[in-house]
Amino acid sequence: MAKQWIAAGMLLALAGVSGAQAQDYPTRTATVIVPFAAGGPADITGRIVADIFSRYLGQKFVVENVVGAGGTTGAARAARAPADGYTILSGHLGTNALAPAFYPNLAYDPQKDFEPVGLTAEYPELLVVRKDFPADNLREFVAYAKAYPEKLNVGHAGLGSVSYIGCLLLHAAIGIKPTMIPFTGTAPVLNAMLSGQVDYECDPVLGTLSQVQAGNVKALAVAAKKRSPLLPDVPTSYEQGLPEFDMAPFYAVFVPTGTPQAIVDKLADALSKGLNEDAVKKRLAELGAETVEQERRGPKALTDLIKAESARLLPILKAATEKEK
Ligand code: MLT
């Protein structure tokens, strides 16, 4: 009996501690894990998130790039971290929805091991080729790719990354299997493309925007129904007869499952307030993000989006990877 009382007391004490911790949260520096290399879309987005949390929650939120295996190394690290709000994942469609399609032994379950905090941004992808690639539009690209598939080198951020998935959709639509070269993120892919080691990549618009605008690489298509206002001269995949190349991945914030609700709420509230700031909206628009209405950004909406995107894309990816075999 005495033992039972002690156990019950301990449980209450633990609950009390976590309740108090949640109320005071945050009392020290927190880490935002970005599972890709510095300088790319995931990193730029993760730094916007870290800045919002730092400003609204009054403690430092520091970005740590934990790269490898298409973002799943960093996501696995975040999934295993204590569920106390001090380790946050800035993940995306790949790490937090589609990764199991590529990694049968994935070290985490994207839906069971994470609590969604909120959606940060959605960016359409671009097909970008090196400056001297012998094609100036998607039709010319398709003709060249079909004629010389063995000559093509495609850079991507690892199996299951959104740059990998975007090009997988493109290749499946065209019916080619070029050499796919993994990097730790699309920032290093861009460097490799600038030095001519890689022919092309499929990357969310912010990844290559400044180099496209400077004329150092060529954007051949926006993988979406409508053009990007930042690149009004670049036609969409739909306009160019390849609607299967349609990819606008979400980037979003997650914490390990078990994080006290009060902490999830504080983070979700801070994120929402930050994303409603005019300066942040302007910055995201300058990076090529789609406007995402507030109702589509909260934890519940993000859960629904993950389910919807998984249902839409998993059969396509399954068919595309079957064709790859
Ligand atoms: C990056 O930041 O490197 C990319 O967004 C990662 C990816 O392609 O999934």
To test the ligand 1 pocket, which listed residue (44, 72, 161) has its Cβ within 8 A of the most ligand atoms?
161
Would 13 be classed as within a structural domain? no
What confidence category does residue 316 fall into, taking pLDDT thresholds of 50, 70 and 90? confident
- Of 182, 188, 222, residue with least CA distance to 202: 222
Q: Are 58 and 99 found together in one domain? A: yes
Tell whether 19 is covered by a domain.
Answer: no
What share of the chain in percent tops pLDDT 70? 93
The whole-number pLDDT of residue 147 equals 96
pLDDT at position 155 = 98
d(CA 159, ligand 1 centre) in Å: 11
Find out whether the beta carbon of 40 lies less than 6 Å from any atom of ligand 1.
Answer: yes
- Nearest Cα residue to atom 8 of ligand 1: 163
H helices within 135-277, ranges in order? 138-147, 162-174, 186-194, 209-213, 261-276
**Is the pLDDT at 245 greater than 50, yes or no?**
yes
Q: Please give the distance, rounded to the nearest whole angstrom, from the Cα atom of residue 201 to the centre of ligand 1.
A: 11
Of residues 76, 92, 108, 96, the one with CA closest to residue 42: 92
Both 113 and 153 in one domain: the answer is no
Which CATH number do you get for residue 314? Answer: 3.40.190.150
* pLDDT score of 292: 87
Task: Check whether residue 69 and residue 137 sit in a common domain.
Answer: no
Q: Is the CB of 36 under 6 A from ligand 1?
A: yes
CA nearest ligand 1 atom 3, residue: 185
For ligand 1, the distance from its centroid to the CA atom of residue 130, given in whole angstroms, is 18
Q: Which atom of ligand 1 is nearest to the CA of 189?
A: 3
Measured in residues, the chain has a length of 325
SS3 158: coil
Regarding predicted confidence, which is higher, 79 or 292?
Answer: 79
Q: Which pLDDT score is estimated for 324?
A: 59
Q: Give mean pLDDT, residues 289-298.
A: 88
Q: Which of 32, 26, 64 is nearest to 51 (CA)?
A: 32
On whether residue 217 sits in a domain, the answer given is: yes
Q: How far is the CA of 36 from the centre of ligand 1 (A)?
A: 6
Q: What is the CATH number of the domain that holds 144?
A: 3.40.190.10
Q: Is residue 15 part of a domain?
A: no
Ligand 1 atom with the smallest distance to the CA of 43 is: 2
Question: Whole-angstrom Cα distance, residue 290 to residue 170?
Answer: 21
Range of the domain at 206: 125-222
CA distance 312 to 252: 18
Give me the mean pLDDT over the 243-272 stretch. Answer: 96
pLDDT digits (tens, 9 = 90+) for 154-199: 999 999 999 999 999 999 999 999 999 999 999 999 999 999 999 9
pTM score: 0.92
User: What's residue 290's pLDDT?
Assistant: 85
pLDDT in tens, 43-98: 999 999 999 999 999 999 999 999 999 999 999 999 999 999 999 999 999 999 99
240, part of any domain: no
Query: In ligand 1, which atom is closest to the CA atom of 204?
Result: 5
Give the Å distances, CA to CA, from 133 to 62, 142, 155, 177, 212.
39, 12, 14, 18, 14
24's tokens: 């005071």
For residue 186 and ligand 1, the question of a CB distance below 6 A is answered with yes
Distance 69 CA to ligand 1 centre (A): 11
Q: Report the chain's terminal Cα–Cα distance, integer Å.
A: 63
Residues 112 and 35 in one domain: yes
Q: pLDDT (tens digit, 9 = 90+) per residue, 98-132? A: 999 999 999 999 999 999 999 999 999 999 999 99
161 lines ligand 1 (CB under 6 A): yes
Residues 47 and 100 in one domain: yes
CA–CA dist 85, 266 (Å, integer)? 10
* 160 ligand 1 Cβ < 6 A: no
Helix axes 261-276, 2-24, angle to 10 degrees: 10
| Cα–Cα distance for residue pair 174/242, rounded to 1 Å | 8
Average pLDDT over residues 12-32: 75
Amino acid residing at 31? T
Most informative mutation of 73, 89, 126, 163 for ligand 1 (most atoms within 8 A of CB):
163
15 alpha carbon – ligand 1 mean position (Å): 38
**Of 91, 92, 109, which is closest to residue 100 (Cα–Cα)?**
109
Number of structural domains in the chain: 2
